[in-house]
Amino acid sequence: MSVRNIDPKVLWNHFADLNAVPRASKKEEEVIQFMMDFGNGLGLKTFKDEVGNVFIIKPGSKGFEDRPIVIMQGHIDMVHQKNSDVDFDFATQGIDMFIEGDWVKAKGTTLGSDNGIGVAMIMALLSSSDIDHPPLEALFTIDEETGMTGALGLKGGILEGRIMVNLDTEDDDEITIGCAGGIDVTAFRTPAMESTPSETTAFKITVNGLNGGHSGMDIIKGLGNANKIMNRMLWKMRESFGLRISEVTGGGLRNAIPRESFSKVCVPNDQLENWKKEFTSVASTIKNEYSSNDSGLSIEFEEIENSSEVISIEAQDSILSAIYSSFNGIYRMSPDIPDLVQTSNNLAKVTITSEKFEILCLTRSSLDSEKFDLANALSASFEPAGFSIDLSGSYPGWTPAPKSDLVEMMRKLYVEMFEEEPNVMACHAGLECGILSTNYPGMDMISFGPNIRGAHSPDEKCQISSVKKSWDYLLEGLKRI
């Protein structure tokens, strides 16, 4: 069955249309025009601001004209990640979707349900002629995934509504009322290379098969980080066997836990057999450590042609030490909210080549002070290795208001519809609500959405029955606001 035939068809057809449009973060020109054409095609007031956020305004349906205005918000960019063995061009191809049981998936790439399903829900509301709803201000932001520059660039005075529904939550039993802020930490230094030693044999080392996932929501799972695992392997081999490194490339986007890392190394010929035995032993130890939650982890080597250059001894040793000592994972749990990660770091991308020495991290926290504390700790790891540090893209968290009128109404509605209490919670992810509230203080906001698993990875999937549940919940909620 085609995705377009899933009920509610209007919603899934909008999702399919959206997924046919390239929409990588910071490359949203096509999807911005797509949304502008969509709104104008409906005859609705449609415009964009100077940073590229798109606004579509729809009056309330008959009998709902005088209800409070509700802002419906989602982001139109998506994470572009694919498996290394998949031939796919995100710049020209639409997402190739398929149905497996109760789930919609993509073939070897991210699905784009984060936040495409939420956007499709808003599009279905805007295009409807038979849905009861209050006046709507639809806000489609850009670049949520790699800097939140759309939300950061949104000026005050454009939106009139004082109630906002964000549709970027990934568990259908949750009502999100708070989130973490974040900051990008970038370490960079001038490459330092020298000639490859003679009498050596070159190998390519591959770390892959990890689950990966969202660097905020999934950080609590203790998943393997390919960059840290690769560094551990290289560190272990550097002194005992005279291993020299010519290249290390691992990870991708800051907000995705890295699933793969690749390195090119050379080993003195008189150490080959001992090196291979030690490699196999260390790889086995690491795979055993992750056997419960990353059972697909693979750590392998293959012989390749030798490179002409390797990283200088000084740079190699200092970089390996810096990455080894840099913090990755949960820094602190919330002392106030059970099971909530308060502060974390994702060592997202490592690029050590003859052209570039660069390491990218994304640090998150519900507390601005702790966010900057961890960013400073990372700086202290990288600076002794000759790296310069750039701290950029800082954005605030969203402070929960658990007793607000909107939260209480939607909580009671959830109990009425589904006969259980929802999980009213804050999340360790960078929702745009906190940023938007800086220019629109006092706005009553919530976030919810359907079950999405594996976001930011090629394993991403969206549950069909859960989309219907969230859609029905949204429609009934709009009637009661």
Do strands 163-166 and 444-447 pair parallel, antiparallel, or not at all (unpaired)?
Answer: parallel
- At 396, is the secondary structure helix, strand, or coil? coil
Decide if 443 contacts 163 (C-beta within 8 A): yes
Task: Take residue 405 and report the two structure tokens written for it.
Answer: 């009128």
Dist CA 481 CA 470 (whole Å): 16
Dist CA 433 CA 426 (whole Å): 12
Which of 28, 114, 144, 168 is labelled catalytic?
Answer: 144
Dist CA 428 CA 115 (whole Å): 16
Terminal CA-CA length for the chain: 36
Dist CA 135 CA 121 (whole Å): 16
Q: Is the peptide bond before 115 cis (omega within 30 degrees of 0)?
A: yes
Q: Is 30 one of the catalytic residues?
A: no
DSSP string, 70-94: EEEEEE--B---B-TT----TTT--
Q: Is 144 one of the catalytic residues?
A: yes
Dist CA 403 CA 367 (whole Å): 21
Decide if 264 contacts 352 (C-beta within 8 A): no
Which of 28, 77, 145, 260 is labelled catalytic?
Answer: 77
Q: Which amino acids are annotated catalytic?
A: 77, 144
